[in-house]
Amino acid sequence: MPPERVRSVRLVTVAVTLLAGLSMIAFMTVGVRGSWSFVLAHRGVRLAALITVAYAIALSTVLFQTLTGNRILTPAVMGFDALFLLLQTTLVAALGSAGAVAIDPRLLFSVECLVMVGLSGLLFRLLFRGEDRNLPLVVLSGLLFGALFRSLSSFLQRVMDPNDFLVLQGRAFASFNVVDPALIGVAALLAVMATIIVLPRLSELDVLVLGRQRATGLGVDTTRLSAIVFALVAILVSASTALVGPTTFFGLLVANLAYLLVPSARHASVLPVAVGLAVMTLVGGQMLLERLLGFGTALSIVIDFVGGITFLLILFRAGRR
């Protein structure tokens, strides 16, 4: 890489890191009244959750897009988080509220994660198998699958026992405002594990950007690499969905912003910026909405609004080429 590009990559990374750090400080300190120790502890838990979510979404989106060779689809657009919700609903419906409450939520979450890896692997096979695939068809089927999973879960929720539903509500309808503290530790651990697995493979992922066949020609075992990375994506999506629920366009937004800002296709350069942007948007946005707008609206709505427009713009631009 020529030195001026190295410099601009570094500049972007430092700027995004600084802004992410600033939004974290603001999140912790703006509008504190009363006991600092209570407020800091309370907000610290939520900050940890938001950072874990931002990290998991940014990482899973970029990995997924490298794997599928496109910049339009994300695990969320393909309905993976809806799949996770369906899984949770089905489990509670099958076990009953007594059964679901008796099981440690962390154990339940781990089981859900495992099933998620299997199911999303199946979905992936279905949509991305074969040597040449039709991207618009994949987009449409992904959106349809998402709708299917969402309708199935809401159907199950309607017919289930009201007591079970209450338990499910406590578990599944997490949002940016209310996170389940029991799961933060597990989710963060999963994110760290995913990172440890993915780090030594970053240079192979860089090659995968050239396309599956060229990567094979350059000596990358693409089948193995795809399987590993795809399992990681499924785990990361489970982690973020368990913490804050579905975020349809958030990953798309931060990943594409990162591609735009970073003048390099190396994952080692793109990923930190994507994560920084995600933290900045999520933590900063939540702070602004809570402290300045007084919970006037939900952050997920704002993100989906901006993200949805971005999605359409990218889609139109891709269509014109």
Partner 1 sequence: MIEIDKICKRYGETVVVDNVSLAIPRGGVIGIVGPNGAGKSTLLSLTSRLIKPTSGAIRVDGLDVSKAPNRDLARRLSVMRQENHVAARLTVGDLVAFGRFPHNRGRPTREDAERVKAAIDFVGMETMADRFLDQLSGGQRQRAFVAMALAQDADYALFDEPLNNLDIHHAVSMMRLFRRMGDQPGKTVIVVLHDLNVAAAYADRVVVMQAGRVVSDGRPTEVITRTLLSDVFRVEGDVMEIDGRRVVNVAP
Nearest CA among 17, 1, 83, 15 for reference residue 54 = 17
Nearer to partner 1, 46 or 201 (CB): 201
- Helix, strand or coil, per DSSP, at residue 182: helix
Nearer to partner 1, 134 or 213 (CB): 213
Nearer to partner 1, 69 or 308 (CB): 69
CA distance 137 to 148: 16
Q: Shortest gap between Cβ of 5 and partner 1 (angstroms)?
A: 8
Provide the total of helices (H) and of strands (E) in the chain, helices listed first.
14, 0
3-39 per-residue burial string, b: 16 or more CB within 10 A, e: under 16? eeeeeebeebbeebbebbeebbeebbeeeeeeeeeee
Q: Shortest gap between Cβ of 101 and partner 1 (angstroms)?
A: 47
The shares of helix, strand and coil residues in the chain, as percent rounded to the nearest 5, are 80, 0, 20
Q: Shortest gap between Cβ of 221 and partner 1 (angstroms)?
A: 5
Q: Shortest gap between Cβ of 144 and partner 1 (angstroms)?
A: 24
Q: Shortest gap between Cβ of 78 and partner 1 (angstroms)?
A: 17
Give contact residues for partner 1 (rule: CB under 8 A): 1-2, 5, 69-71, 131, 202-204, 206-207, 209-211, 213-214, 216-221, 259, 263-265
Nearer to partner 1, 10 or 224 (CB): 224
Q: Shortest gap between Cβ of 261 and partner 1 (angstroms)?
A: 12
CA distance 304 to 103: 34
The position carrying tokens 């590009």 is: 5
The position carrying tokens 């909405």 is: 289
CA distance 154 to 131: 36
Nearer to partner 1, 46 or 267 (CB): 267
Nearer to partner 1, 39 or 202 (CB): 202
What's phi and psi for 118, nearest 5 deg?
-65, -50
Nearer to partner 1, 43 or 267 (CB): 267
Task: Name residue 252's amino acid.
Answer: L
The position carrying tokens 């089905």 is: 90
Q: Which two three-digit tokens encode residue 216?
A: 């094979």
Q: Shortest gap between Cβ of 49 and partner 1 (angstroms)?
A: 32
